[in-house]
Structure 1
Amino acid sequence: MAWHKLFGERATTKIAAVFDSEAAAEEAAASVRSQAGLQATQVLLVQPHEKEYARKLEPEPQGVARTALRSHMILGLAGLVAGAIVWMALYVADLPAILSSPGVSALFVLFLGAIAGLLLGGLITARPDHQLVIQRVQTATEEGRWSLVVHPRDARQCDAVMAALAASGADVARSV
């Protein structure tokens, strides 16, 4: 299965870099835009002590909702199919508990498979890998530092952004 089909967001990776001055942050933003070929909406600055920066970290609320729907539907169905395969394997193995009540055992195993898939869909929707980036920006904002938040849309853009930020000497955090 292609993992990108689970996501409804155009930019699934987040990269944040922290700077001590506005000039350094703006210079890095210009460098990132030019080297990676990003649009202005993909490169956002968070000012020191800014209160409403959450939208800059998650600029695609509709994409997050699509991710929730897609990941739960696809992985819930995949869990259901996996449960059916497990039940068939147990049935073919002639397990007495399965053979004595095949209907109830099938429902039970299918239910467990579907729940496992739905839980995995919830984990993908929650995106725990984004927490490192979010925490880095929050800490920088509270400390009175500038943050550059970048939303690359593919692997080529990610590599170009990371190279540009490495050259700037910034403190960088990246999600998967």
Structure 2
Amino acid sequence: MNWQKLFGEKATTKIAAVFDSESVALSTADVLKSTVGLQSTQVLLVEPNESDYAKKLEPEPQGIARTAIRAHAMLGLAGLVAGILVWFALYAADLPAILTSPGLSAMAIIFLCTIAGLLLGGLITSRPDHQLVIQRVKTATEEGRWSLIVHPRDARECDAVMEKLTASGADVARTV
């Protein structure tokens, strides 16, 4: 399965770089736009003590909703199929518990596997990997530092951004 199909967002990776000065953050943003080819909507600056920076961290609320629907639908269906396959494998293995009550065992196994798929869909939707970036930006903002939020759209952009930010000496955090 192509994991990217589970996501409804254009940019699934978030990168945050923390700087001590506005001028360094702005010049780094300009370098990223010119050398990597990022658009202005992909490179956002969070000022010190800025209170409404959540929209800069997660600029695609409709994409998050699409991710929730896609992840739950696809992984719930995958869990259903896996449950059917597991039950058939256990039935073919002539397990007494399965053979004595095939209907109930099928319902239980298929139900549990479907729920496992839905739970995995929920985990993917919640994106726990974003917490590191969110916390880094929050801390920097409270400390009076500048944060540059970058939303690369593919692996090439992500690698190029990470290379430029690492070379700049910034404090960098990224999601998966």
| TM-score interval, smaller chain | over 0.9
Whole-angstrom CA distance in 2 between matches of 1:26 and 1:154:
23
1:73 equivalent to 2:73? Answer: yes
1:109-151 residue CA offsets vs partner (Å, 9 max, x unmatched) = 0000100000100110011111111110000001110000000
Whole-angstrom CA distance in 2 between matches of 1:175 and 1:116:
24
Whole-angstrom CA distance in 2 between matches of 1:92 and 1:158:
47
Identity within the alignment, %: 74
1:27-63 residue CA offsets vs partner (Å, 9 max, x unmatched) = 1111111111000000000000000000000000000
RMSD in angstroms over aligned alpha carbons?
0.6
Q: Which residue of 1 aligns with 2:125?
A: 125
1:160 shift after superposition: 1.1
Runs of 4+ in structure 1 deviating by more than 4 angstroms, as ranges, are none
1:4 equivalent to 2:4? Answer: yes
Aligned residues: 176
Q: Which residue of 2 aligns with 1:20?
A: 20
**Alignment gaps of 5+ in structure 1:** none
Give the alignment's TM-score, normalised by structure 1.
Answer: 0.99
Whole-angstrom CA distance in 2 between matches of 1:21 and 1:158:
24
1:101 shift after superposition: 1.0
1:60-103 residue CA offsets vs partner (Å, 9 max, x unmatched) = 00000000000000000000100111100111111111111111
Secondary structure of 1:149's partner? strand
Q: Which residue of 1 aligns with 2:113?
A: 113
Q: Which residue of 2 aligns with 1:140?
A: 140
Whole-angstrom CA distance in 2 between matches of 1:52 and 1:154:
27
1:165 shift after superposition: 0.8
Conserved 8 A contact 1:44-1:148 = yes
Q: How does 1:148-163 map to 2 (within 5 A)?
A: 148-163=148-163
Conserved 8 A contact 1:35-1:164 = no
Q: Which residue of 1 aligns with 2:44?
A: 44
Q: Which residue of 1 aligns with 2:55?
A: 55
Q: Which residue of 1 aligns with 2:175?
A: 175
Moved more, 94-103 or 112-121: 94-103
**Alignment gaps of 5+ in structure 2:** none
